[in-house]
A and B are shown apart, each in its own frame.
Chain A
Amino acid sequence: MNHDALERLIKESRQFLFTDFFVIACQLLAIVVIVRCRRRDKMVYYFLSYCCAGFLLFLSGRIRFALYTGKESTTRYLETGNVIFALIEYAVFYYYFKTVLRAKLIKAFMLIAMIVLVAVSSLFLFSVFFSNATGSRIMQLSDLIISPELIFLGILCLCYYLELLRKRPSTNLSTSPSFWIVTGLFFYTLVIPPFFLIISDDFEIQHRTVFDILAVLHYISFAFLFLAITKAILCRKPLTT
């Protein structure tokens, strides 16, 4: 990485109060804790994949942004990465909630959402690689995929809380992995994503300060999710408990 790129990366990070580095640190921490726990559990592997995908895409996105900022190809790369990550994220949490939640109707909705997400993501990827869509159009499309995906996961978190209050209260919440994971996800999915649905295309350019605040809050909630996953692993119980 050349000097200019590094400077750009630090300048951009300073605007986000270095919360992007905090996210990377939390992702690394989660990966290290999962690997060190050495648990042969399918769900742990899913979360390891999630953390690794998050780490690689986020880190590569930051580096790409620093190297080729302002280029159309960078926007395409970042948004493609975001949508792929959204797919991985939904797949992991789909399997997770499928085990944790009991209501069959919700599971059916989850499956429908999965099918819709795969379909629209395929269309998105097709439009990225085989059409002449502009960078802002691609950003708009990816927001239209990612934000509903996150909001839907947030609704699943609310379903979890409702089921939690209905079921026999035999577990202690402070040592319940599912409570930690769902709480982390709850803040990550419902604090900022609704804003991305309502803001205009040129919001980032027109209202830079507000956009930075949005990004900082989003990064903090994203980091909190990885901290929650770390805490869940440290509870030393099956992740669905």
Chain B
Amino acid sequence: MQKTPDDIIIFLLVTTSIILVMAGFVITIVLLYRKKQISYQKDIDHIKAEYEKAILNTQLEIQEQTFKNISKEIHDNIGMSLTLAKLNLNTLTPDRGEQTVKKIDSSVELISKAINDLTDISKSLNADFIKEYGLINALEQEISKLKSTGLYGIHFEIDGETTFMNSQKELIIFRIVQEALNNILKHAQANRINIRLSYHSNGIYLDISDNGIGFPKDRTGETTGKKKGSGLINMKSRALMLGGTWNIETAAHGTIIKLTVPY
């Protein structure tokens, strides 16, 4: 007895259905696994981000503690020694003529300048200053320090209604500005710096721009994927730690850093 064509079709339908059910089963397994994998990856990323945040926080704490110790050392020991040296020179009775007097006066002047500079450095290293006087005062002091060199025309602008943030956040923003200014001094060959601090309802926007030579795009790491400078990485990771954004644009006529930090 031979099977009729209908029976063959039924048989083919049955086997095709079995194969389709099995293929569907495997595809379902793959999709479920993929879904689980995505969720697992999200968890891993979250844990990694938290871990990196904790590491960065610890690094910042250690850095601040180190800065504080250096600041204290400058103020208590070096500052004291220089003050004593200045005092000694002031109380010296010159007996070798006008030239000696001139030299002593010049030395007193140099020591005074060194004491002032060290006081400034001490203040900018010490986070207590920010806690006490706030971000704007700290920035103004940093800017006046730069202005006093006579090498830069600095324009500092504040927009919006000033809103106080917690001192830890302000300290991190201040360190980002310090890093940005430090980069301008070291690399930009600029003579104009603009700093604009805008207070918005959702956070602060900070733009730091200069009219320097800019730098090759690969140094930002954004376009070529090459290693970024540690200063740029630090700025970015600090901004991300605050839950904000950090962006850098560079061209032959200057560089602009844009930072946003939520309250």
Contacts and interface: CB of A to CB of B under 8 A. Distances in A.
Interface in A176-215: 183, 186-187, 190-192, 206-210, 213-214
B36 A210 contact: no
Contact of A210 (B11, B25, B32, B33): B11
Nearest to B3: A207
A213 B11 contact: yes
B33 A209 contact: no
B29 A165 contact: yes
A190 B22 contact: yes
Contacts of B2: 206-209
B33 A169 contact: yes
Interface of B, secondary structure class, is helix
Specify which of A161, A165, A169, A206 lies most central, judged by the most chain B CB atoms within 10 Å of its CB. A169
Contacts of A209: 2-3, 8
Contacts of A173: 30, 33-34
Contacts of B33: 164-165, 169, 173
A67 interface: no
A210 B29 contact: no
B92 interface: no
B233 interface: no
A169 B37 contact: yes
B110 interface: no
A217 interface: yes
A169 B22 CA distance: 22
B36 A169 contact: yes
Contact of A165 (B18, B26, B32): B32
Nearest to B16: A217
B7 to A, nearest CB: 7
A168 interface: yes
Nearest to B26: A183
Interface string B32-43: 111011001000
Nearest to B39: A169
B8 A169 contact: no
Given A170-B40, A183-B26, A207-B2, A213 B15 contact: yes
Interface in B136-174: none
Nearest to B5: A209
A161 B29 CA distance: 7
Contact of B12 (A168, A169, A187, A213): A213
Contacts of A217: 15, 19
Contacts of A161: 25-26, 29
Given A191-B18, A191-B19, A186 B26 contact: yes
B22 A165 contact: no
Nearest to B25: A161
B41 to A, nearest CB: 8
B1 interface: yes
Contacts of A165: 29, 32-33, 36
A177 B15 CA distance: 27
B22 A187 contact: yes
A129 B29 CA distance: 45
Interface of B: 1-3, 7-8, 11-12, 15, 18-19, 22, 25-26, 29-30, 32-34, 36-37, 40
Given A190-B22, A210-B7, 12 more contacts: A164-B29, A165-B33, A165-B36, A169-B33, A169-B40, A170-B40, A187-B19, A187-B22, A191-B22, A192-B15, A209-B2, A209-B3
Closest 4 CB pairs of A and B: A169-B37, A169-B36, A207-B3, A161-B29
Interface of A: 161, 164-165, 168-170, 172-173, 183, 186-187, 190-192, 206-210, 213-214, 217
